[in-house]
Structure 1
Amino acid sequence: MPTVIIEPGILAVQTHVLDTTSHQHTLQQITLPIGSVHLNVTTAQGIQSYNNTAIIIKESVPHQLTMHAGWVILIEPTSQVGLQVSAMLAGQEAYLLNIPHAPDEFSHLPTLLGLCNLRFQQQTHQYDPRISQLLKHLDQCLAGTCIKPAHWLAKDIAQQLNLSQSRFLHLFKENMGLAWRPYLLWRRLICAITALQADHTATQAAYMAGFSDSAHLSRTFKKQFGITLQKLLSQNKSQ
């Protein structure tokens, strides 16, 4: 496994020889290179290319990344760190970072964020109490206690929160800035990564996260992040 840091609202991966296809996701992304890096970002003005620089990419912006070594940090936009990133972006699709030095391969998350002039803070955002209750429940997965797929349907979540399904879906998007389904997919992928870190097989991790098999997990991961989970892990194991 590569070095992986998971906190509520944040996933940071230290990787080698990362080469993705063009992709987009609902998360903000910080790329902190240790070696050479080439990044293509698709904006309203066309494809913008960046070389050998740290950069923040706004959520839902298509991009393709080739990096010799470095950190990729994915952030939920409504998290405490995400709100700081949004202020830094100020509506831009990409923001170049002038970091004082390259990050270390074994850096802690506060150190990595500090290089970007961001403060690491635990989640204190004032969500609706029912959404906070749901997020706390989902965070059990970060401790290795994954919620089984049967509990992930919107109608079941709504019932647990004493809401209609339509009211729950509206309330969730209002609080989180994105719909329940793509957010749930992100959390399921986090669940799978957590399971792999705990030495479960890819098949076991896929089942725990609600995917039909490891191939389904791999395809979904590639669609979201431009690289299969197996390829990401094998590249890092070979270093």
Structure 2
Amino acid sequence: MLLGLLPGIEVVGAAADGDEAVRLVAELAPDVVLMDLRMPRCDGVEATRRIRAGHPGTEVVVLTTYADDDSLFPALRAGARGYLTKDAGAEEIARAIADVRSGAAGLSPQVQRRLLESLSGQPADPQRTDPQPPGPERPPARAGLSDGLPAGLSAGLPDGLTAREAEVLALIAEGLSNAEIAAELFVSPSTVKTHINNLFAKTAVRDRAQAVAYAYRHGISRSS
């Protein structure tokens, strides 16, 4: 019902389990499948694997209650390009669908953070599932890198990144949305988009998930 109200989205079918999902994809050839993980007979991971193998033109976005490692990583390895939890609102779902259709990844901020934690070997904080909103407990916006990123980076940023672009990249790696980055840095959301477009072009990453991995590889994060 929610999807049917979103502009630009037509719901062409609904499946009760993974086997039916695979059959309907073959019959209806949808652009995107929103996939649950816990289903009878054929679960979401196996259904995703079969869909991506047999119908590569159909992208899969997982929409599930579960965000633990045993759910997240098998789904991504099976070929899911997006992963949302069921508290996602209509705007976040629509954005994930648009992202995967354009070739990007549609990952919620908490999933991006979990991927970064896995890459860095840091344990996930079970008490922190959503990005912290800007407020008095957050550090003030920084004019440069020295306060927010590892020392020495400003002297040798990779791929021609500017100090501000690296700072935006570090906040992406924390899982912040564009609006949250704008509030953090006291700039407009359009300015944040410009920085993101520039840093994506310079680093040759396609989406925020790749940007998170890039930030970790180059030590561009406030936790590094």
Judge same fold: TM > 0.5, yes or no.
no
The two structures have a TM-score, normalised by structure 2, of 0.29
TM-score relative to the length of structure 1: 0.28
Greater C-alpha Rg:
2
Which structure has the highest strand share of the two? 1
